Amino acid sequence: MNQKLILDFENKIDCEVPMTMDTIPLSKESSFSQWQQEIPKEYFNLTSEEINYKINTAKKKLGDNVIILGHHYQREDVIKFADQIGDSYALSLYAARNHKTPFIIFCGVHFMAEAADILSSNSQHILLPNLEAGCSLADMANKPDVGSAWNQLTKQFKEKYKIIPITYINSPATLKAFCGENDGIVCTSSNADKVIKWAFEKGDKVFFFPDQHLGRNTSHKLGIKDESIALWDWRKKENKLGGNTITQIEKSKVILWDGFCSVHQRFTISQINQARIQYPKIQIVVHPECSSEVANASDAVGSTAFIADYVSNAPNNSIIGIGTEINLVSRLAKENPNKKVFCLDSVVCPCSTMYRVHPAYLLWILESLLDKKIVNKISVDDDTKKFAKIALERMIEVS
Ligand code: SF4
């Protein structure tokens, strides 16, 4: 995993360092035992001040050789070091367009770093601070299961219908490659409507994975009714059409994989009802990974970028209840002090996998680069990269 680097960094530095007292030492994080352990012991007990100082110092020394990307859901004590903040679409576009910076540190989860590796140039290195930072939604679909479903669908229906596979960007590179190889495409929550429209220009049916809720909410937005949507239960054995009859698939325009995000599935109608009773003038905005019942009961539905714009464009004194990950909601509340902004789920859980990027891991990556070592490099193999890139570039063209 570690490689020697040939880089010429300055050895001396004089920097002023902003301090923030909000980081618990890595060894005291309650879930640390499940996180990537092969990090040198010297990083385990660093205080918040030490980590802040060292990260700022390392960043200054590395200069233009490094850029740090931060997903909106990242914890505050990591996002403050990001040079670019965005959702997975914005950050993958950034990786596709910036072919200069040799080291891109992706403070996000595994599939995002893979997408950046696919879209960046061969001379760039994508580094993920903690290799255990995955996505439970992305883990709900894999190549063997999707391949088996695809074989059943094409065997049964290929004479009558052209089926277009669409994978949400929250998926492994192998599924992006699968779509690239089979006339399909990738989407994000920012562009799923455009992508599904594109698919219906190319074919008769859409096979959408892994997030059923994004697929269903977007289908509804495009006027596709529930009668024309099938749910594919990937736990069913071979040749069971995912629990559907031939007639059900025949009359479906969209076939959805039975996957979901554990964070967004927590939002409920009763939370929305309670918020409306408490604040009659409230506006409710939720992410499309929430269920369609929750989306239908809200005033607006959109991606993380959409939610951020919605809050910043709302007039002062607005009351806004949000259905998405708590780190983004807290940040929006802080950035909009003249509005009341809160998370609909009072017992909020952050994205626990995203949370694994403790700043001590970021520091380890940066200081390793100063030592001319690359750690936690994300490399997608060439074959997968070739086809995954086709599917991602189709998406960028459509958006
Ligand atoms: S919030 Fe949900 S979809 Fe997003 S990274 Fe976390 S688990 Fe995955």
Nearest Cα neighbor of 189 from 219, 168, 161 is 168
**163 vs 207: CA distance, rounded Å:** 7
Query: Which of ligand 1's atoms lies nearest the C-alpha of 351?
Result: 6
pLDDT tens-digit map of 142-198? 999 999 999 999 999 989 999 999 999 999 999 999 999 999 999 999 999 999 999
How far apart are the C-alpha atoms of 126 and 380, rounded to whole Å? Answer: 10
Nearest ligand 1 atom to alpha carbon 108: 5
Stretch among 21-25, 26-30, 218-222, 315-319 having the lowest mean pLDDT:
21-25
395 found inside a domain: no
Domains contained in the chain, number:
3
Task: In whole angstroms, give the CA distance from residue 18 to residue 155.
Answer: 61
Query: Quick one: 123 and 43 in the same domain?
Result: yes
125 and 144 inside one domain: no
User: Between 287 and 15, whose confidence is greater?
Assistant: 287
* 291 falls within a domain: yes
Q: Given a cut of 60, is residue 23 above it in pLDDT? A: yes
Tell me: do 252 and 336 sit in the same domain.
Answer: no
**pLDDT tens, residue by residue, 329-388:** 999 999 999 999 999 998 766 888 999 999 999 999 999 999 999 999 999 999 999 999
Q: Ligand 1 centroid vs 145 CA: distance in angstroms? A: 20
40, 125: one domain: yes
In angstroms, what is the span from residue 263 Cα to ligand 1's centroid?
7
User: CA-CA-CA-CA torsion for 184, 189, 191, 194, nearest 10 degrees?
Assistant: 70
**Is the backbone peptide bond immediately before 210 cis, with ω within 30 degrees of 0?**
yes
Q: Return the residue matching tokens 């299961």.
A: 145
Please give the residue range of the domain that contains residue 319.
264-343
Do 291 and 213 form a contact (C-beta atoms < 8 A)? yes
Atom of ligand 1 nearest to the CA of 352: 6
Q: Ligand 1 atom 1: the closest Cα is on which residue? A: 351
| Claim to verify: residue 198 and residue 282 sit in the same structural domain | no
Average pLDDT, stretch 18-27?
66
Ligand 1 residue neighbourhood (C-beta within 6 Å): 73, 109, 135-137, 170, 261-263, 325, 351, 353-354
pLDDT at 10: 33
Tens-digit pLDDT profile for residues 28-83? 887 887 888 889 999 999 999 999 999 999 999 999 999 999 999 999 999 999 99
Residues 163, 96 share a domain: no
pTM to 2 decimal places: 0.92
The rounded Å distance from CA 240 to ligand 1 centre is 29
* Alpha carbons 57 and 67: distance in angstroms, whole number: 14
For range 305-327, the mean pLDDT: 96
Residue 310 in domain: yes
What is the CATH number for 285? 3.40.50.10800
pLDDT value of position 138: 97
Residues 42 and 129 reside in one and the same domain:
yes
Residues 283 and 253 in one domain: no
Instruction: Please tell me whether residues 9 and 129 are part of one structural domain.
Output: yes
299 lies in the same domain as 183: no
